Amino acid sequence: MLTAARYCICSISRASRLSGQLLNTLKARSSLAPAIKYNLRPNSSHRIHTTSNSEDLPTGKGFDVDIRETVLGVERSLDNIQEYMDFDRVSQEIQATQTYLEETNPGAASRAQSRLAGLQHQLSSRDRLQKNFKRLRELLAVAEAAEDVDLQAAVLLEMQGLRRSADEFLTTLWLSGPLDQNSAYIDVRAGSDSTEACDWAAKLVQMYTKWAQSKKFAVKTVDETPGYIAGPRSTTLLVEGRYAYGYTQYESGIHALTSAAVSGESGAQPTAIASVRVSPCIDEDDMTAGVELNSADLEITIAADEGARLTVTYQYESNEHQNRVIALSLLRSKLYDAELQKRAYSETGAHNAHHETPQDTPIRIYTLEASSVVKDFRTGYEVSSDGVQKVLDGDLGRFLEASLRKFRKKL
C-alpha cells in the first residue's frame, strides 16, 4: 500500500503535505495500479521547479526537472538491459542447470550451483527494476493529477536512483566473461627513456592506482624498471579485487600526452606516450583460461638474460616461495595475453577491442594545457576542463563504462 511517508523522501527540503483526500486516492489507486497510465506526449516536455538537499542536485538551489526526459532516461536504461541479454536463453539455462544439479553429485557441482545463483539473480534483478519503474510511473501519474510539485520531485528523484541501479545492473551483465571477475595486472611502459615519457608513465600508474583504491581494490607493484634519467621506465601493478580485470581489460593501448588542443586522432604531436597492457591474474587452480605451466618448460634463475623468451621477474617479497607464486601467476597472465594477441591477428571480424587494438595503436589522448581534454578515440567519449584532473586522479568510471558498452558483444 502506498503511503505519503514512503515517497515524500527527506531529500525534498519542504516536506510534501498531502491532503487526506489525496492520501486516500493514493491508497485506492495502489489497489488498482494496472488501470493507471502515464502517457508522455511525443513532442511535449513537462518541467517542474522545486528545491532539494539531495546529493544528486544542487544543494539549496532551485532546479528544473524535465519529467519526460527523466522517464525516458529510465526507459532507455531498461531497454539496454533487455536488448543486451537474451532472458529467454537465461531461463532455459537455469532449467538445464537445475536438471544437471539433480543428476550430479552435490560435492562436484559447486561451479554449476554458483552459475545457477548468478542466473537467478539476473532474472530477479531485471524483474525488480521493471516493477519499480512501473510503480513510480503510476505514482507520478497520481502526483501530476493532484498537481503536487513536491511529490512529483520526490518521485523523479527515485526515478534517477532507479536509472543508476539499472545502469549498474547492465554493467554486471557486461562483466560476465569467464575471467572478468579476476584480479588484473596493469603494465605501464614509457614510450622512451626521456624524462617526459617516464614522468607520463608514472602519472598513468598513479591514475590507475587511485582508481583501484576508489574501488576498494588492493594495489601492489610487482615489477618496476627504472629509467636511465629519472622515474620508472616500466611498472607492473597487481590490482586485486573482484572484476578488476573486467573493468580494465580495454585499457590496453597507447596513451598519449599532448600540450595542445586536439581535434582528432591525427591532431597535435604528442609530447609523451606510454603503452598500457592489461591481463588477468590467473591462479594455479584456475582452469578457465586454459593456461597450464609445465615445469619442464620453466627456467627459474636468480637473473635471466634478455632473449626471445617470455620472461617475468618478481622479487618484492622477502619469502622466496611468495616470489615464486607471484612470478608464476604473472607468467600465466602473460601467456594468456600472448595467446589473445595471436588469435587477434589470425581471426577476422573480431569485435573485442582488447583483441583488435595493437599495442602501438593510440586509444586515448590527454591534453593538459590550453583547452584541456581527455578523449578516447575508440568510443568517442571525452571530458574537458575540470574533468581532466579528475581523470588523472582516478575518475575513470565513464571511460571504462563507454568501452564496455561499445565492445562487449550481446550474450
pLDDT tens string, the chain, 411 residues long: the values are 333 333 333 333 333 333 344 344 444 433 333 333 334 433 434 555 544 444 444 433 444 457 778 888 888 888 888 888 777 888 888 888 888 877 776 655 666 777 788 788 888 999 999 999 999 999 989 988 988 888 888 888 999 999 989 988 888 888 878 788 889 999 999 999 899 999 999 999 999 999 999 999 999 998 898 887 777 899 999 999 989 999 999 999 999 999 765 444 445 677 899 999 999 988 765 544 555 555 544 555 544 444 444 445 444 445 556 666 677 777 777 777 777 666 655 654 544 544 444 566 899 999 987 779 999 999 999 999 889 999 999 999 999 989 998 888 554
Please name which of 309, 241, 249, 240 lies closest in space to residue 277, comparing C-alpha atoms: 249
Q: Which pLDDT does position 83 carry in this prediction? A: 80
- Residue 76: CB atoms within 10 Å: 12
Please give the backbone phi and psi of residue 257, each rounded to the nearest 5 degrees, phi first.
-110, 135
CB 33 within 8 Å of CB 141: no
Please name which of 96, 32, 72, 79 lies closest in space to residue 160, comparing C-alpha atoms: 72
List of residues 6+ apart from 303 with CB closer than 8 A: none
Cα–Cα distance, 313 to 330 (Å, whole number): 9
Q: Which pLDDT does position 344 carry in this prediction? A: 58
Beta bridge partners of residue 190, listed in sequence order: 274
CB 248 within 8 Å of CB 240: no
- Residue 186: CB atoms within 10 Å: 25
User: Alpha-carbon Rg of the chain, whole angstroms?
Assistant: 26
CB 122 within 8 Å of CB 88: no
Q: Structural domains in the chain?
A: 4-174 (no CATH), 184-407 (3.30.70.1660)
Query: Residue 268: enclosing H or E segment and its boundaries?
Result: none
Q: 253-258 and 272-280 as β-strands: parallel, antiparallel, unpaired?
A: antiparallel
Cα–Cα distance, 215 to 228 (Å, whole number): 33
Grid cell 581523470 — which residue? 391
Grid cell 581534454 — which residue? 373
List of residues 6+ apart from 134 with CB closer than 8 A: 33
Give the type of residue at 358.
P
Please name which of 383, 388, 382 lies closest in space to residue 369, comparing C-alpha atoms: 388
Grouping H, G, I as helix, E, B as strand and the rest as coil, residue 392 is helix
Q: Which three cell numbers stand for residue 93?
A: 539455462
Q: Which pLDDT does position 333 carry in this prediction? A: 72
How crowded is the C-beta side of 293, counted as CA atoms within 13 Å? 21
Residues in the chain: 411
Q: Which pLDDT does position 56 carry in this prediction? A: 45
Cα–Cα distance, 62 to 303 (Å, whole number): 66
Beta bridge partners of residue 225, listed in sequence order: 234
Beta bridge partners of residue 317, listed in sequence order: none
